[in-house]
Amino acid sequence: MLQRSAILLLTLFSCLPGFAQFDEQLRKPNEEIVFACQLKNLKWVAVCREKNGKYLVYRFGTKAKIEMQYPAVPDASSWQKFTFNGYVRGGGKANAAMHFGYLKFFNNNVEYELYDLWSSEDDKEEWGVLVKQGKKTIDMKGNLKNKKGSLLELIYEDKIKKEDEN
């Protein structure tokens, strides 16, 4: 029985290699992950905050090479360089429960919009990054097996800009 339990645990952990890598990917030792996922192109996206809330930072790349960090030098002003929009409605399928979170920023005339979506009506989840430059939009979809955290963690964060609700 003990041997069977050990084999089961090893099987479970080997099926979840992405989750073990989150702490080793794009997070610095003094940070915590707000939202992170592996994209279908096998690169990683992470939104991290300094453990004491001093800054918010976005990173894209791999453990071996961070291809983009925004802002380049995170500090207390970094919170205002991002715009957040989110919504949560509970109540299960009967109430069409859903949540969505969007985090947007601009870097070198390119708009980046991370998204984290769920709907109870079809029990569908989606996350990833939209990259918009001019009329061209690229949707880098997240790998549904590798996600940690949620952009909705930012919904009550006072330091970040909120998108105007009309």
Give me the chain's average pLDDT, please.
Answer: 84
Q: What is the pLDDT of residue 1?
A: 43
Q: What is the 3-state secondary structure (H, E, C) of the chain?
A: CHHHHHHHHHHHHHCCHHHHHHHHCCCCCCEEEEEEEEECCCCEEEEEEECCCCCEEEEEECCCCEEEEECCCCCHHHHHHCEEEEEEECCCHHHCCEEEEEEEEEECCEEEEEEEEEECCCCEEEEEEEEEECCEEEEEEEEEEEEEECHHHHCCCCCCEECCCC
Domain range summary for the chain, segments of one domain joined by +: 17-156
pLDDT of 63 over the 90 cut: no
At 2-59, the pLDDT tens digits run 444 333 333 333 333 444 444 466 888 999 999 999 998 889 999 999 999 999 999 9
* pTM of the predicted structure, to 2 decimals: 0.82
Q: What is the mean pLDDT of residues 111-130?
A: 90
